[in-house]
Every structure is written in C-alpha cells, then in structure tokens.
Chain A
Amino acid sequence: DTAVSQTPKYLVTQMGNDKSIKCEQNLGHDTMYWYKQDSKKFLKIMFSYNNKELIINETVPNRFSPKSPDKAHLNLHINSLELGDSAVYFCASSPPGVLGAKNIQYFGAGTRLSVL
C-alpha cells in the first residue's frame, strides 16, 4: 500500500542497453515527476506530467523518454545507456488543488541505476 512505488529498486546493466523504470501512485495526484539524483546528492528535475500531458521537459538527452499511460502511472525508458546515467532516479507526485499544496512532492523510494 505504498503511496508512490517504483520498480525496480535496483538496476544494474551494461552500457548500450535499453531499460525502463516504472512508477505508480495511489494518492489520487494528477502531477507526476522524474528526478535524477547524482552521487553528490543533487536533485534535478527531468520531466513532469499533469493528467498525462508533458508539462516540464528539462534539458535531458533524448535517449530518455517518459510515458504516462494514465495519471497514476509515469514510466521512464532509457535507450543506449551510458556510464553517466548511473544515478538514483526518483519518481514523485503532487496533489491537485490550490497552488501551494499542489507543489508538495511525494517521492518514491528511488531506483538505483548502475551502468557498467
């Protein structure tokens, strides 16, 4: 009954492979996000979807492709993985409603990606 759940929790793969990370939230939120956290703990937003529509698309290589089949799910597919993609990827969601509450991020447990 985890609120924001990501799978897999750990992902170890070879350079050049393609992999996907899945995220689901059961909070009834309408906005979902992908963040990348590097080894220095810096959190950088990658994408955001609101009701299945892409609203934030930061400067991210086009090897990264998000997909939101419905507002409760946001997946991230990565093509041709590179060493620099190694990081922790966090999914998050935020509720609808007034602007203040709308911003609060509820994070998943993260997916630790290691590219060898």
Chain B
Amino acid sequence: GQQVMQIPQYQHVQEGEDFTTYCNSSTTLSNIQWYKQRPGGHPVFLIQLVKSGEVKKQKRLTFQFGEAKKNSSLHITATQTTDVGTYFCAGRITTDSWGKLQFGAGTQVVVTP
C-alpha cells in the first residue's frame, strides 16, 4: 500500500494567508523531495531534504524534514495566486537500492483573491 501519506488533500487559502502541507511515511526515508504541479502542467522539482531535522527556505516557502526522517512539511507564508497548484512530497525509501520515489497523493491548493 501507499507508504507516503500527505495531508490535507485539498487546501483553500485566502490570498495573504499562510498554510502548511504535511507528509508522513511509515518507514524511514533517506531523503524527501517536494514538487509543484501547476494546473494543466507537469510536476516540477522544488527542493530535496536529506539530513535529519533539515530546514530549507525558498523565498516564502519553508521545507522541513523531521528528526526521525519519517515526516516533512511545506509551509507557505503570505500565499499568492501564483501558489495555485498541487504540491507533492516524494520520499526515497531507505531500503530501496534503485532509489524509487514514493509520491504522496498531493495537496491541491486553491487561492482566492
């Protein structure tokens, strides 16, 4: 079954507000990636986290990898209409020698002006 769970599935946000999407794995991950897919587009790589407890920022986006390397979060501050899209986390299961990524189900973000 699906090993990487992502919540919420949908997120309606007022422009200017903050929100967070969460990713949880049933097994330890060697790394986790985040992708953004605009409506009608394809997933685009945003960032990769490798170290336990790692925090990385990209402008208004803050990515965090849990201490146990089983969860991650993406926090967006002051949401803009350009943030619309689906955000996916994707984790590499440590025991998978070929580095197969397990994608979460995605969080579909709708921003209202």
Say whether A50 contacts B42, CB under 8 Å.
Answer: no
Smallest beta-carbon distance B20→chain A, Å = 19
The proximity string for A residues 69-106 relative to B, scoring 1 for CB distances below 8 Å and 0 otherwise, is: 00000000000000000000010001000011011111
Are A56's CB and B100's CB within 8 A?
yes
Answer yes or no: A48 CB below 8 A from chain B CBs: yes
Contact with A along B29-66 (1 / 0, CB 8 A): 01101010100011111001010000000000000000
Considering the chains assembled together, what is the distance between the CA atoms of A110 and B37 in angstroms?
Answer: 12
Please tell me if the beta carbons of A43 and B43 are within 8 angstroms of each other in the complex: yes
Contact (A100, B50) CB under 8 Å given A40-B105, A42-B105: yes
Query: How far is A102 from B42 in the complex, measured between Cα atoms in Å?
Result: 19
For A48, the chain B residues whose CB sits under 8 A away are: 98, 100
Residues A103 and B92 in contact, CB atoms below 8 Å apart? yes
CA distance A102 to B43 in the complex (A): 17
B103 smallest CB distance to A (angstroms):
4
If A90-B42, A105-B45, A109-B42 touch, does A45 touch B101 (CB 8 Å cutoff)? yes
Which chain B residue has the least Cβ–Cβ distance from A101? Answer: B48
Set of chain A residues within 8 Å of B37, measured between Cβ atoms: 41
- Is B86 among interface residues, defined by CB-CB distance under 8 A? yes
**8 smallest beta-carbon distances between A and B, as pairs:** A107-B42, A43-B103, A41-B106, A55-B98, A103-B99, A107-B43, A42-B105, A110-B42
Show the binding face of A for B, using Cβ within 8 Å: 40-45, 48, 50, 55-56, 90, 94, 99-100, 102-110
Given contacts A104-B45, A107-B44, 12 further A-B contacts (CB under 8 A): A41-B37, A42-B106, A43-B88, A43-B106, A45-B100, A48-B100, A56-B98, A94-B99, A103-B31, A105-B43, A105-B101, A107-B42
